[in-house]
Amino acid sequence: MTPTTLSRKILSAISLVALVALATTAIGATAQKYVFEFSNSGVAVAIDQNPPEYPRGSALRRQEGWVRLSYVVTPDGDAIDPIIVNSSGGGGFELEMRKVSATWRFEPPASGAELPFNIANTRFEIRGGKDKATTKFLRHSNRIVNYLNKDRPERAGKEAQESLRKGGWNLYESTILWLIIGRVEGANENPAGQLEMYQRALAMSNANALTRNGRIDLLRNIFLLESSFDQYAAALRTLAALKDVQGSEEAVDRLSERAGEIKKILDEEAVISARATVANPCDCDDGQPLWHYAPERRTFSFANIDGTVERFEARCERQRISDAVATGKLWALPSEWGHCSIFVFGDDGASFDFLEHLSDADDSKPAGEIAVARNEVPDTS
């Protein structure tokens, strides 16, 4: 069996349905506007998909937010088992997304089976807000950058955490803040944290928050960080996104040698070992720490666990499985399940190696029998 050919269309090949909904509500004397972007990987058709409420405390502080949520559509058309993939702005936004997703209704899938591979991206924006930095934010951000320039990354990190605690930032400011915190993590020699912050900034940004050149630089840095962690499938998806940015030819050319090396590695039979770190997707105490990844290969295992890594859930277009994380065991996701994302849960900061195997590479299998995915609804309690 030949190895899976690298594809840059893990997500682009999926059937996407985009829905932008605007809603207003009154919180005190302030009317709020929501921009809700919905994308669905399967054939589920929304019947009733209301936007979330705006968290009252966040509205009073004029804090804007963003949440990316994964959910499953049941055979009856309900949305269940929400997972917060990433977020910005605080736990209130996450809570509202969890609450509203329980009210969503979809047309029951024609297959009679659940559809586990769905993502909702939500931007919480305040009516009348503008994509620009306030004087208050500039004071905070300049203070952080000044400490970085003085080679005092620990103090810069404390100032950054204080800025997050104070809050009150619009989405433009939040994007810039995550970029700055990414620099802080890098200066503190925490590349895993740097990658997390850069990915968050990219996901929630718009054209006003990131100029074309800024987007090119950010994608380039994300590619290099993903590559350094051997997260090859993610790195090549990032490179594909970089190619889509006008004027990125020079940056793409500089990365072409490394991209060629990655493609060669993926075409070989050797096990691919990506280093992973569990992280809290929310800048709050209530978030559920996780690591998520869309692998290139369909057989995987875990190794070199450092800290508490509890369980994983693989959500595919037409099926899902869940199990306790353990070394010495393989899991296989049948190709007929379609594209998959894997969520790994544990303590914030725990790390492990995520190994991708060729399905027929028997000599690379760890001890133990292969665990072929079954048609079972996982226990996510």
Average pLDDT over residues 14-43: 49
Q: What is the pLDDT of residue 18?
A: 35
Q: What is the mean pLDDT of the chain?
A: 85
**Lowest-pLDDT choice from 129-133, 135-139, 233-237, 368-372:** 368-372
Q: What is the pLDDT of residue 42?
A: 59
Q: What is the pLDDT of residue 239?
A: 98
Check if the beta carbon of residue 11 is closer than 8 Å to that of residue 241. no
* 3-state SS assignment for residue 325: coil
Q: What is the pLDDT of residue 129?
A: 62
Question: pLDDT over 70 for what percent of the chain?
Answer: 82
Q: What is the pLDDT of residue 364?
A: 41
Where do runs of H (alpha helix) occur along the chain? 56-61, 91-101, 135-149, 153-166, 171-187, 191-204, 212-228, 232-243, 249-267
- Beta bridge partners of residue 372, listed in sequence order: 332
Q: Does residue 26 register a pLDDT over 70? A: no
Average pLDDT over residues 264-277: 95
Q: What is the pLDDT of residue 45?
A: 83
Q: Which domains does the chain have, with CATH numbers?
A: 19-126 (3.30.2420.10), 135-258 (1.25.40.10), 272-372 (2.60.120)
Secondary structure (DSSP) of 118-172:
EEEEEEEEETT--SS--HHHHHHHHHHHHHHHTT-HHHHHHHHHHHHHH----HH
121-166 pLDDT, tens digit per residue, is 898 988 766 788 999 999 999 999 999 999 999 999 999 999 999 9
321-340 pLDDT, tens digit per residue, is 999 999 999 999 999 999 99
Residue 25: pLDDT band by 50, 70, 90 thresholds? Answer: very low
